[in-house]
Amino acid sequence: MTYSDELGWTTARHRRGNMLLLCVAVGMLMLVVVALAFWVYLHFFSNQLLQDSSEKIALTAAQRLNDNNYSGKINNLIGGSRELVYCARQMHAKTVSQPNFSEYEPFAAQILAESREGARTLTIERDRYVAGVISDLRGLAQNSNVQPARELALFDASSDRPEITDFKVGSLENMESNVVALKGLPDLLEHDTTQNYFKHGKDFDFYRASIPLKLPAPDDDLDFQLSPLPIAVSETTAPLRLVSGKHFKPSLILREHGKDEIGNCKLVPSCVQLSMTVKLQSKVTQELQSSTLSVSTACTNGSLPEPKE
């Protein structure tokens, strides 16, 4: 073999070697691009699935806040109990101040005592109902963590099961009660107007929520508070719906940063807000991982229209 032949053979071998390295590099680059494409796709798919799951759980939780219009009924009972106590006090005062009605004083005193006791009993039952609703929501949060049943995997990437990290209940700002102000008791109407207990609407006035609706003394020791709930307008009930979290006002935290919290509400909440996360990680390297977050806020259905007499 001459020197020129040996040189040509060596040059050709180097070219083949360089071509092989180039093919390997291109192949590895394509694998990286494909892996990143699968990673982005899994991230998008997991985010969409997480958003759907969080919205579904939020709506399910919000529906339980006024299931069968229980919250609306409790509000109406509290409003009716307040009026009953006021009327019983007025009747008893009349039997005391006017001799012509003095013989009815024992009967009026009994009605007054029973109406006051009924108001206290109603408060206790409301607290019991609120505790049951909160307990139900805690169970919903715990059981929802097992969905979906298995982790998602695609090529070299996988996602863990979604987890509820934050769960709060409360109401929307400026949401009042569903109890309409009746005009059959002018003295009580004047008192409540003076105390700014009303929210004035276009067609009617209704009571404010989450504030003590104190009666005149000596009945100002009784607790009358109404839960926030969308009122029926023109006999149309507000639907169960997703809302913006911008105006959400929390009253109780059930879970924060993945840790369950203790506590209870005084009034029935009307909205829920939950945050869910899911972790994505690479099966090739543990350093490549990320997480996605979804926040959903839902408001319960409004009160049903009061039946016409």
> 31-60, pLDDT tens digit by residue?
555 555 555 555 566 677 778 888 999 999
Mean pLDDT of 149-176: 74
Over residues 219-277, the pLDDT tens digits come to 999 999 999 999 888 778 899 999 998 999 999 999 999 899 998 999 999 999 999 98
> Are 67 and 186 spatial neighbours (Cβ–Cβ below 8 Å)?
no
107 Cβ contact partners less than 8 Å away, ≥ 6 residues apart? none
In a domain, 223, yes or no: yes
Ramachandran angles phi, psi of 62, nearest 5°:
-65, -35
The Cα 260–Cα 254 span in angstroms is: 6
> Are 156 and 35 spatial neighbours (Cβ–Cβ below 8 Å)?
yes
In a domain, 308, yes or no: no
Mean pLDDT of 27-34: 60
> Are 81 and 224 spatial neighbours (Cβ–Cβ below 8 Å)?
yes
Over residues 276-300, the pLDDT tens digits come to 987 766 655 555 556 778 899 999 9
The pTM score is 0.80
Does residue 183 sit in helix, strand or coil? coil
In a domain, 306, yes or no: no
Q: How many domains are contained in the chain?
A: 1
In a domain, 16, yes or no: yes
Mean pLDDT of 6-23: 56
In a domain, 304, yes or no: no
H/E segment holding residue 234: none
In a domain, 305, yes or no: no
pLDDT at 146: 46
In a domain, 295, yes or no: yes
The whole domain housing 66 covers: 3-299
The Cα 71–Cα 4 span in angstroms is: 98
In a domain, 309, yes or no: no
